[in-house]
């Protein structure tokens, strides 16, 4: 599975990485992956928490220098 869309939300305070992800998921197909780049440490817990709540799928979280790469798969 390749990443369908990348959201560079580094340095984004508002609407913020999770809000960007929620909006972007509406525009891709079921099974597509979205990668969010976030410099907000809170995203590492916020995003998986929301993804589990609405039953999408976490693909992975990779730490980088000063930011995290978080990949989510649209499951429904």
Partner 1 sequence: MAKQILIVGGGLAGTIVANGLCRQLREEVSSGSVALTMLGATETHMYQPGLLYVPFGRMRESELFREQRKVLDRHVRFMVDPAKHIDTDKRVVTTQSGKTHGYDFLVIATGSRIRPDNIPGMAEGAHWFYDLEGARKMRDALATFKGGKVVININVPHKCPVAPLEITFMMRDHLAAKGVLDKSEITYTYPVGRVHTLEPVAKWAAPEFERFGIKSEVFFNTKSVDAKAKTITSEEGTTLNYDLLITVPPHSGQQVITDSNLGAGGWVPTERYTLLREGSSNVFVVGDTTNLPISKAGSTAHFEADTIVDNLASLLKEDRWARNYDGKVFCFVETGLNTGTYVWFNYTTPPNPGPPSQMIHWFKLAYNRLYWLSARGLL
Answer yes or no: 63 catalytic: no
Set 1, 2, 13, 14: catalytic member: 14
DSSP state of 57: E
Rounded Cα distance between 36 and 34, Å, is 7
Shortest Cβ 25–partner 1 spacing (Å): 10
Rounded Cα distance between 66 and 76, Å, is 32
Per CB under 8 A, 19 contacts partner 1: yes
| Interface map 27-56 toward partner 1 (x if CB under 8 A) | x--------------x---x--xx--xx--
């Amino acid at each position: 599975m390749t990443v369908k869309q990348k959201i560079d939300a580094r340095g984004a305070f508002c609407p913020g990485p999770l809000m960007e992800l929620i909006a972007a998921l509406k525009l891709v197909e079921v099974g597509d992956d979205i990668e969010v780049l976030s410099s907000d440490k809170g995203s590492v817990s916020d995003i998986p928490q929301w993804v589990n709540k609405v039953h999408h799928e976490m693909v992975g979280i990779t730490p980088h220098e000063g930011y995290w790469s978080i990949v989510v798969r649209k499951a429904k």
